[in-house]
Structure 1
Amino acid sequence: MGIEIKNPMEDQYGNSKDNIFIAFKDDGNYLGSSYVYPNTNHRQIEEIPYLIFMDINLAENMDKSLEAEVKQLLFDKVFLRAKELREERPDLNARIYSGFQYNMENMNFYIKNGFEEDYSIIMEASIDDGFKYTLPKEVEIVDVNLEVEEELVDYKKMYDEIFISPVDMDGFIEQSKRACFKSLYFLVQGKRCGGCTIFQDDTFGYIETIYVLPEARGKGIAKVILNYIFNYFLVNGLSQTKLEVWELNKPAVSLYKSFGFNEIEKNLMFPGRNI
């Protein structure tokens, strides 16, 4: 029985159809898909700003005897396309990577294909009982209004331009149901400069995201945001805070350490390779 891999007739998710591959048996049954998209991101990994994400998804209830072959065929197609995309930006250091919930089978597959292990770091900090912070007068805080569709669309557009992986809007909405949830914009003299999303996770104040817009970087906005978060958590009875950061994002790791965050755990994720 043959396997055919082809591009879709049209793309439904904002990606080029040349970057999407779908596998079928010769009887027309769907077997799986893979896709790749490039992202130029000078914030999260300063030394490697050109990041090319790829992923593979196999059909549920597939014949087990076909899984390995289909996965490798989809990988070969999408990896070749990733290398073509890389050639479009020869001026930048580039890395191809794949994100997934870690499991040994997936990790072994990517390592077999020349990828390396990457880590995310879980970090925790204690907030001193006497900590207090007052926002500078020129800084204004605005909540993202989850009830307004236009604001959610605007938030997603901004987030996807800043972060390596697109925002999971369903997960974002679920987070909004947690205690101490805040998704905030920080404005300086009326102009949006950065923001954060935070909530309570067990007994911790959890920092989901902190970001500073490119035009506002180098002006201490991230420190303003972190100080505000610490104050907010403490006022709400949370003296411990936690976050997760990609180990390769060295500026962020350094910033968090300067605020007393310590590494407590590493997670294997985002296997990748520089090209």
Structure 2
Amino acid sequence: MIIRPAHIEDLPILLDFEQGIIKAERPMDITLKTDEKINYYDLSDYIKADHTEVVVAEVNGEIVGSGYGQIRERKEFFKQDTMGYIGFMFVKDEFRGQGISQKIIQYLSNWFSTKDITEIQLDVYDQNPSAIRAYEKAGFEKYLVRMRINSGDKS
């Protein structure tokens, strides 16, 4: 297995992975539109951007996983001006449980280190315990809970 930066030629596969993520997350998020195709990311721009590293995992020449690391500005009251953010984590079903996501996270962590980024964050749905376990295995810790209410829902 190799982890490498994504190329623009990988875009069709990456767009399929994005739809796989959305399909998995729709049942966890009632705020997502369900009656139309949506996109979370502008992957073409991300591949070209200096502040984002999109990567793919290949096994025997087949792209089986993806992720991105992005340098993001922070508000002035934080100790650090920038942070790393990891997203777009996807591994094909038949390749899960083989440590691929861990290798993607390690690759992105190393990339952040070359940019002098020491704090890395990500978002994960609370209803996704397998993803939470994978991120905890990589050293991530829970530190904030986002809550919501739909004030129009009176039932």
1:194 alignment partner, one of 56, 65, 68 = 65
Matched, 1:141 2:4: yes
Q: Which amino acid aligns with 2:123?
A: E
Q: Which amino acid aligns with 1:162?
A: I
Instruction: Check conservation: 2:54, 2:67, Cα contact below 8 A.
Output: yes
Cα 1:197–1:140 change in 2 (3 A) is: closer
Moved over 2 A (4+): 151-155, 161-169, 171-180, 268-271
Superposed CA offset, 1:20-67 (max 9, x none): xxxxxxxxxxxxxxxxxxxxxxxxxxxxxxxxxxxxxxxxxxxxxxxx
Q: Which amino acid aligns with 1:200?
A: I
Query: Per-residue deviation at 1:152?
Result: 3.5
Q: Which amino acid aligns with 2:68?
A: T
Report 1 or 2 for greater relative contact order, CA contacts < 8 Å, sequence distance ≥ 6. 1
Q: What residue is the counterpart of 2:33 in the other structure?
A: none
Pairs aligned (count): 129
Normalized per residue, which structure has more helix? 2
RMSD: 2.5
Query: Per-residue deviation at 1:173?
Result: 5.3
Query: Per-residue deviation at 1:216?
Result: 0.7
Instruction: Check conservation: 1:180, 1:236, Cα contact below 8 A.
Output: no
Q: What residue is the counterpart of 1:159 in the other structure?
A: 18
Superposed CA offset, 1:134-169 (max 9, x none): xxxx41424141xx6xx4344222320233354235
TM-score (norm 1): 0.42
- Could you say which structure has the larger radius of gyration? 1
Query: Per-residue deviation at 1:209?
Result: 2.0
Structure 1 unaligned blocks of 5 or more:
1-137
Helix, strand or coil for the counterpart of 1:230? helix
Q: Measure, in 2, the Cα distance between the counterparts of 1:173 and 1:262.
A: 30
Structure 2 unaligned blocks of 5 or more:
27-37, 74-81, 151-155
Cα 1:265–1:189 change in 2 (3 A) is: same
Normalized per residue, which structure has more strand? 1
Q: What residue is the counterpart of 2:95 in the other structure?
A: 216
Q: Measure, in 2, the Cα distance between the counterparts of 1:270 and 1:227.
A: 36
